[in-house]
Amino acid sequence: MFSIMSVKNRAVMGLAVGAIILTGCEKSAEGQVAAIVNGEEVTLQEINAALSEANIPEGADKELLQQRALQQIVDRRLLAQAAKESGIDQDPTYLIRQRQLTEALLVRMYADKAGTTIKVPDQAAIDKYTEAHPFSFANRTIYAVDQIIFPAPANLGELKKLESANTLADVAEILTSMGINYTSKSAQMDSVQVPPAMMAQIVSLAPGEPFVIPTGATVTANVIKAQQKVPYNAEQAGPIAVKAIRNEEMAEIMKQRLTEAKAKAEITYQTGFAPPAEKDKAGDTPDVIKKAVESPTG
């Protein structure tokens, strides 16, 4: 049995739905609107944005590619609408992820905008950069390594106990004595991905001597077992150096803007959540900035 109030509510809802349907009917797929999906427009700008991210071969049928891109957008829009109907857009996990993705995009686009103020480096600057970063260019090397990976201790000072290790087996023994669980595996290490100062220390080690690299929540102990130098090509190195110089300058601009934002911000931490003072070093580049300058949106 329905109450008078429930019948009235249903009538109001029916009017609202009807208004939405009428609004959808008033829209038409023309001009800058390529399609309308349950009242939601798909624009030519969206299609062009999708195509700009694709590796389109020369001479490809542009009209066919547009149609395919549009259909992918339509399919995604339909599934997104179905997800909303199921209530996923109100799920706390979704809302957190949505905010993370939105903030990351804003930061990347903010970095891209900062990049428009950076001048293109000349050949002298490129040569200076490549000479200052030999492990990324002339001496770039791929290393085959054996690794032991374990959780970072709360006090990184405890890692000093590993200084007495002469082999990876010694590292394993010390970790066991400390009650730290670890996993072992083989991997590859590219010298271009290691900070230059750290790479210089690594190549100075005796053969088979382990070295430790903290990486956030984990620590990796490594031993080099083989290496292969990457052929150097000066012409190919130029564009890579230009991008690296640009990224470093963008990072410096973003670090300055972050410093300014922190100076004006009001941040209150719950007891026990404030960052340790040693974590906020002026020379460090926050991960959020590294990701932004290395993953341009345009």
Q: Could you report the per-residue pLDDT of 77-130, keeping only the tens digit for each?
A: 999 999 999 999 999 999 999 999 999 999 999 999 999 999 999 999 999 999
Question: Predicted confidence band at 296 (pLDDT cuts at 50, 70, 90)?
Answer: low
Cα atoms found within 13 Å of the Cα of residue 31, Cβ hemisphere only: 4
Residues 6+ apart with CB under 8 A from 181: 150, 151, 175
Task: Between 11 and 177, name the one with better pLDDT.
Answer: 177
pLDDT band at 177 (very low <50, low <70, confident <90, very high): very high
Q: Are β-strands 141-151 and 183-190 bridged in parallel, bridged antiparallel, or unpaired?
A: antiparallel
Q: Is the pLDDT of residue 8 over 50?
A: no
CA pair distance 177, 289, nearest whole angstrom: 38
% of the chain with per-residue pLDDT over 90: 69
Q: What percent of the chain has pLDDT over 70?
A: 88
Task: Determine how many CB atoms are found less than 10 A away from the CB of residue 108.
Answer: 19
**What's the full length of the chain, in residues?**
298
pLDDT digits (tens, 9 = 90+) for 192-216: 999 889 999 999 999 999 999 988 7
pLDDT for 279? 53
The pLDDT confidence band at residue 59, using thresholds 50, 70 and 90, is confident
Let me know: does 148 contact 176? Beta carbons within 8 Å: no
- Summarised one tens digit per residue, pLDDT across range 224-277 is 999 999 999 988 899 999 999 999 999 999 999 999 999 999 999 999 888 876
pLDDT value for 118: 92
Mean pLDDT of all residues in 71-81: 96
296 φ, ψ to 5°?
Answer: -65, 150
Average pLDDT, the chain: 87
Cβ atoms of 123 and 131 within 8 Å: the answer is no
Domains, in order of start, for the chain:
4-90 (no CATH), 91-138+234-298 (no CATH), 139-229 (3.10.50)
* SS3 assignment, position 211: strand
